[in-house]
Amino acid sequence: MTARAEGSLNLKAIQQAARRLEGVIHPTPLDFSATFSRLTGSRVYLKLENLQKTGSFKIRGAYNKICTLDEASRQKGVIAASAGNHAQGVASAATYAGIASLIVMPENAPVSKVTATQGYGARVVLAGENYDQAFNHALALQKETGAVFIHSFDDPEIIAGQGTIGLELLAAVPDLDAVVAPVGGGGLIAGAALAAKTIRPAVQVIGVQAESAPAVYQLFHQTQKSGPPPAGRTIADGINVRRPGKLTRELIARFVDDVVLVDDEEIAEAILLLLERSKLMVEGAGAAGLAALLAGKIFLPEKKTAVILSGGNVDINLISIIIERGLVKSGRRLLVSVLLPDQPGSLSRLLALLAAARANLISVSHDRIQPEVPIKEAAVDLVLETRDAAHRQLILDTLVQNGYKLKKHFN
């Protein structure tokens, strides 16, 4: 660890950050989940940072950093680059502290996130096609204006602020066995691990990354061969970071026990289960830790395990896709296309058969002019609500047994 990190990043610094944050943030609940305990074999506690102000943990580090600025720096304001949670955290923290903030976001940033960031009091500049270009533009503006650049993870005060989560975990469950946290740039897990391990050295700390953004995983397991991995695509955009921080890498190497990977399907399943079972809206990055437990990537039988749900700022369109895909995957939705004789009564007989099989009709589309549909026949596309995979198969078998030609179906 560098001398700078050694001198400023310790339990005392995190405790000071916690005092600064009193009355500013929510001390979020640590909620025991009987459902996820049963599904994973661990005794699962969910740290609900998705309920934090601005919808994620990021305000902790941002406000702690801003509190350490001297008056001259405050007069110049702060600047940051972000496509999401860090933008909102810095904007809110700066407004709360009474100083100006400028956030550079990519030109293709979701309108909802841009609007939210402006709503927290920041001036937003759109620049570049991606985060890296927005970051470079923010650095150029910082040189022009003299504003203080607020890094999203590689900063001692940012890491100390995120580390206050570790204090809250051990205060709520002093004999905690494990902490599971998502990892992008590493600020969250670095701070939480430092706090948790200092208070309770026996606690395990395990990081979780998306398979398409495995930089910390590769560094931790020493499998990175030639520089950071290329930019990937993942629904866990909050942890889609190619280059973790220098300080965070050092702290992860010292305090983290393991780092594992999950894919987008596993993350999507965790998001859906959190919605359905716990009534919690959690973004992809926030659900990564639970996804690793559910998928068996982390196995901690009967261990008291805190899973940090780091944020809840998820795009509603993405949620709708995850719900639809999840229903199909679990057997509760069936999409099927049937060829019918093109004559009166054919559709009503089909619908009567489906009703008898207790399939609930969501939508139906009737088309007899597609070139691939034989003359004197019609293609009927059906979306059906079903109970489970067995019920879905029963419906398909019933259709075949009654002489219907299945053009296609999706499982």
CA 178, chain centre distance (Å): 20
Dist. CA 310–CA 131, nearest whole Å: 20
- CA atoms 341, 344, 345, 347: torsion sign: positive
| Residue among 145, 186, 146, 172 at smallest CA distance from 61 | 186
Q: Tokens for 71, please give them.
A: 């008056």
Phi-psi region of 358 (alpha: psi -120 to 50; beta: other; left: phi over 0): left
The verdict on whether 246 is a catalytic residue reads: no
Dist. CA 183–CA 159, nearest whole Å: 13
| Lookup result for tokens 């001692």 | 156
Q: Taking the CA atoms of the chain, what radius of gyration do you get in angstroms?
A: 25
Cross-strand partners of 377: 341
With b meaning 16 or more CB within 10 Å and e meaning fewer, what string describes 122-141? bebbebbeebeebbebbeeb
Q: What is the DSSP string of 166-190?
A: HHHHHHH-TT--EEEEE-SSSHHHH
One-letter identity of residue 173: V
Pairing relationship of beta strands 360-367 and 377-385 according to DSSP bridges: antiparallel
DSSP 8-state secondary structure symbol assigned to residue 359? P
The verdict on whether 58 is a catalytic residue reads: yes
Q: Tokens for 179, please give them.
A: 């902490």
CB 387 within 8 A of CB 409: no
CB 229 within 8 A of CB 215: yes
Q: Which of 42, 92, 101, 310 is catalytic?
A: 310
- The helix/strand/coil state of 234 is coil
Q: Which of 58, 65, 197, 304 is catalytic?
A: 58
Q: Tokens for 375, please give them.
A: 């003359």
Q: CA triplet 381, 382, 388: central angle to 5 degrees?
A: 140
Q: Which residues are catalytic?
A: 58, 310
